[in-house]
Amino acid sequence: MEDRFVRLGMKQIVGRAARMENTASIRVFDKLNMEFVEEFVEEGQYWVLYQVGR
C-alpha cells in the first residue's frame, strides 16, 4: 500500500464493507492492516468503515 501513497500522493485509504455481515471484505481490510473506524447505518443497512493512513 505504501506504493499507492507515494505514487498517487494519497494520505488515506478508506474501505467500506457492503454490510457488517460481509466478513470476506472485513477480512481483506484486516489483511491490509486497515484500522476499524466505526459502524454506521445508512438507508437501513449496517455498514463498517475501515481506513489506513500514511
What is the pLDDT, as a whole number, of residue 36? 92
What is the pLDDT, as a whole number, of residue 4? 61
> Residue ranges of the alpha helices (H) in 1-54?
2-8, 23-31
So where are the chain's domains?
Answer: 2-53
What is the pLDDT, as a whole number, of residue 53? 80
Check whether 5 has a pLDDT greater than 70. no
**How far apart are alpha carbons 29 and 49 in whole angstroms?**
10
**Tell me, what amino acid is at 6?**
V
pLDDT digits (tens, 9 = 90+) for 9-41: 877 777 777 677 888 988 998 998 889 999 999
Q: Is the dihedral of CA 10, 24, 34, 2 positive or negative?
A: negative
Check whether 1 has a pLDDT greater than 70. no
Grid cell 457492503 is found at: 18
